[in-house]
Amino acid sequence: MTVLPLSIMGDRADSRGMTTFVSYLVVLAFAALLIGPGLYGILRDRRIDRQLRAVATRLVWLPRQRSGGLPPTPRRPGGWHLGPVIH
């Protein structure tokens, strides 16, 4: 039975540098896979919070009102309201 030497790659000096480079790339790929979704979620939550703050502090223009003519619809506080909304 023939046994191959374990230091096949150790004979060439430039292969060690390439192995180190590939190792760095693998570590960066794993870091991106682990950190990426969390970072995306944080940015999405910040965007949603910013939108909620904007809606709470100003009037909302509905799509039919962007062309002009009608004033913006005033925001109603949350909860149940009996009766129509007065514009």
* Amino acid found at 79: G
pLDDT score of 37: 94
pLDDT digits (tens, 9 = 90+) for 5-15: 656 555 555 56
pLDDT digits (tens, 9 = 90+) for 39-87: 999 999 999 998 888 877 776 555 555 555 555 556 555 555 556 656 5
Considering all CA atoms of the chain, what is the largest pairwise distance in Å, rounded to the nearest integer?
92
> pTM of this prediction?
0.42
Q: Compute how many other C-beta atoms are within 10 angstroms of the C-beta atom of residue 36.
A: 10
Q: What are phi and psi of 73, to 5 degrees?
A: -80, 125
